[in-house]
Structure 1
Amino acid sequence: MRVRNKPWAEDYIKQHDGIVVLEPSQNKGKWKQAFSHTNRPVHLEIGSGRGGFIQGMGAKNPEINFIGMEVQKNVVVSAIDRVKEAEVENVRLLHENADQLSDIFEENELDTIYLNFSDPWPKNRHEKRRLTHQSFLSQYQQILKADGKIVMKTDNQHLFEYSLVSFSQFGLRLEEVTLDLHATEDPTNVMTEYEEKFTNKGQPIYRCIISNHK
């Protein structure tokens, strides 16, 4: 995703500390308290992009608290604007990398993790950068509750196949495997920007739902 550089992005993020959690490690173990309603489950999207999915999920599911994590600051500002415009009070954003999730989230703290259209990193030498590599899966397993879920969507068949093998070899349970998500209507699905783009081109969208157990 090519993104125009925005020199003002860092200051813009700091100005919206009501939406963006600026020092997320301080919330470790108490993420529910970062929201107005502290008795709701907490869901995390890794790689939230311009925020279309996380904002849509927040609006559609007011009984859940959502966190969108994005490493590119020039993209985070677009997510901020989406959340502001939609006035969803159950969405928070993080300008962070997913490498050290255990520094941000306590064990058993999350109910669901979303991996939407993650970078496939197709070259073998970049395998460890894939968000479904075992090094990431070990972090997900730690911060997810025992019955927590991982929901993955992608248009990349190679990444999807790799991920299914990776999940299985790690010992996670495959609850659902869908090879063409939009072949039938799913009222629970909220599309990302990439998903809309690829679906309009007639490209199949792959989805799997993984159950954590410890």
Structure 2
Amino acid sequence: MRQRFKPWAKDKLLSHPDISPVNPSEWKGKWSEYFGNGNPIHLEVGTGKGRFITGMGIQNPQVNYMGMEIYDSILVTALDRIIDAGVPNVRIIRENAERLSDFFEEGELDRIYLNFSDPWPKSKHEKRRLTSEFFLSQYERALNSNGEIHFKTDNQGLFEYSLHSISKYGMTLKNVSLDLHNSDFENNVMTEYEEKFSEKGFRIYRLEAEFK
């Protein structure tokens, strides 16, 4: 879906360094200092308009949440949502997940969320999938020894690919759901896409994985 360009979005993000740091690489290894506490840090890769991390921040004030997104025009909506909600434990960075190791020190994260990622269905684009070996290796470095990946999608093909990719990488799968909204999973926080797809009757797939 094409997003409307907002020429003022970058300046607005820059005007809120307390929520969206200007140079996030400068905080590598010091994100606890940025948040002002030693709480666990959870990162959503591809945070979009921020509904998920804002909701999670409200639900879990004892956890620090970060959202990573590459488009100013989308991320500025997340900024507004965070400001309106008044959640001090939710922050965002405008960066590409391909450079994850530039922003997070080894073992700095406790959890990574991948929600409704682009499926990149063509074989030649496999490396761009957020559950490919390329990205899994970055997650492994950034997560601590007890860190987890939580993944949700409506795309069956991407889900099947992710099950295979994660297993092939040597990770342990758990809490795999083939129909999340008809399962006994509690306290699910929906993304914008999740609400849209579920209202259309699409099945939502979910899994959790950890490195051995």
| Alignment root-mean-square deviation, CA | 0.9
In 2, distance between residues paired with 1:102 and 1:165?
24
Q: Percent identity?
A: 55
Query: Which residue matches 1:75?
Result: 74
1:208 counterpart = 2:207: yes
**Equivalent position SS for 2:33:** helix
Query: Which residue matches 1:22?
Result: 22
1:127-160 CA distance string (max 9 Å, x none): 1110011010000001101110000000000000
Query: Which residue matches 1:10?
Result: 10
Q: Where do 5+ consecutive residues of structure 2 fail to align? A: none
Which one-letter code corresponds to 1:7 in the other structure? P
Query: Which residue matches 2:34?
Result: 34
1:18-54 CA distance string (max 9 Å, x none): 1102211111111111113x12000000000000001
In 2, distance between residues paired with 1:90 and 1:212?
26
In 1, distance between residues paired with 2:120 and 2:185?
29
TM-score, length-scaled by structure 1: 0.97
Shift of 1:100: 1.1
In 2, distance between residues paired with 1:43 and 1:34?
14
The answer to whether the 8 Å contact 2:39/2:63 transfers is yes
Which one-letter code corresponds to 1:19 in the other structure? I
In 2, distance between residues paired with 1:45 and 1:84?
18
Query: Which residue matches 1:43?
Result: 42
1:182-201 CA distance string (max 9 Å, x none): 00353321000000001111
In 1, distance between residues paired with 2:38 and 2:146?
18
The answer to whether the 8 Å contact 2:112/2:148 transfers is yes
In 2, distance between residues paired with 1:205 and 1:66?
23
Which one-letter code corresponds to 2:203 in the other structure? P
Which 4+ residue blocks in structure 1 deviate beyond 2 angstroms? 184-188
